[in-house]
Amino acid sequence: MSRHNSIGLAILAALVGLASAWAPAGAEPGASMHGPGAGRGDGAMMLPLLLRGANLTPEQDAKVRELLAARRAASQALVAQLRQAQEELADKLFVPGILKEVDLQPQLQKIAQLREQLMQESAKIALEVRALLTPEQLSRASQVKDRVRQLQSEMRQLWQSGKP
């Protein structure tokens, strides 16, 4: 496996957890990265593709790996906390008795706070990676981003029309 492929996989593995944590529990199937909502978490999901398009040097590849390794534990901890909070909300929704919206507010606020922390962490990672790129690499990555958005738009149109 080439260094560029391995860095893409490493970034994807590190960020998939973040992106999946942003989707609400029980999200519609179309909200997956393969359905009409593909790209809703595009910041995290596009980063591996953008870096691959940027053609990282071996030195940049090594720095990105170090960066991801340094941030992995914090990100994984936040994802675990979010999953736990979402499970607690689901448990609360299915207990016998009367349940009002106000009863869910503390749990909903906790989930919102954890999602915000995940987005902040993801933004920090993206900024640190971006700082490693040359202007030419940023330009190439931007072109890939534009093309991915175009493809996502075409996919949404196909899903909505129901026709190939």
Q: What type of residue is 120?
A: Q
Contact between 133 and 60 under an 8 Å Cβ cutoff? The reply is yes
**Within its chain, how far is the Cα of 8 from the centroid?**
14
Q: 25 is written with which tokens?
A: 């529990």
Residue 44's pLDDT is 53
Residue 54's pLDDT is 87
Residue 153's pLDDT is 95
Look at residue 30 and give its three-state secondary structure. Answer: helix
Computed on alpha carbons and rounded to an integer, the radius of gyration of the chain in Å comes to 18
Residue 51's pLDDT is 82
Residue 113's pLDDT is 97
The number of residues making up the chain comes to 164
In the chain, which residues have pLDDT < 50? 1-42
Residue 9's pLDDT is 42
pTM value > 0.85: no
Phi-psi region of 57 (alpha: psi -120 to 50; beta: other; left: phi over 0): beta
Residue 49's pLDDT is 77
Residue 103's pLDDT is 93
Q: What type of residue is 138?
A: L
Residue 8's pLDDT is 45
Residue 25's pLDDT is 36
Dihedral sign (CA 128, 132, 135, 141): negative
**Within its chain, how far is the Cα of 3 from the centroid?**
22
| Alpha helices (H) along the chain | 3-22, 42-54, 58-93, 101-130, 135-161
